[in-house]
Amino acid sequence: MIVALVLLLEAPIEDQAAVCVGAEFATGFEETGGVSLGTLISDPLPNNFPLLPMREHDSALVLLARVHRLPSRRRLVAAIADREALAGVALREPPALLRLAPA
């Protein structure tokens, strides 16, 4: 299954800080039997395609991973609960772990 860890931030994150957080979580994903697929950050530019609604004033950091089995996902949730990995990142709300499904 593919999971997305969504972190809504108080302020935009610097590219280098996003890389550091992404690398730390990649290690966590791998320790739980998963594979990190990437790190995404919000684009601060205005929406130039109004037919696609966007949350223009939110800053987010999204970490994607593939998790092979449910026990790995449970361990991943437990690892995410350890917020030490988020030191220095001001969150607006607790991280959300989403399971992605094909559309």
Question: Would you kindly state where each structural domain of the chain is located, as residue ranges?
Answer: 2-42+60-100
Tens digit of each residue's pLDDT (9 = 90 or more) over 58-102: 899 998 988 877 655 666 666 665 656 666 788 888 888 888 888
Mean pLDDT (whole number) for 7-28: 85
Measuring CA to CA, which residue among 73, 64, 55 is closest to residue 9? 55
Q: What residues form DSSP beta bridges with 99? A: 3
3 phi/psi in degrees, rounded to 5:
-120, 150
Distance of CA 41 to the CA centre of its chain: 9
Q: What pLDDT is recorded for position 64?
A: 92
**What token pair was written down for 21?**
């957080």
Beta strands per DSSP E along the chain: 2-9, 35-41, 59-66, 96-100
pLDDT at position 95? 80
Report the SS3 class of residue 89.
coil
Please report which confidence band the pLDDT of residue 38 belongs to, taking 50, 70 and 90 as the band edges: very high
Model confidence, pTM: 0.80
pLDDT digits (tens, 9 = 90+) for 22-35: 888 888 777 777 88
* Cα–Cα distance list, 21 to 38, 53, 55, 79 (Å): 11, 28, 22, 14
Fold of 2-42+60-100: Alpha-Beta Plaits (3.30.70)
Residue 41: band (very low, low, confident or very high) from pLDDT cuts 50, 70, 90: very high
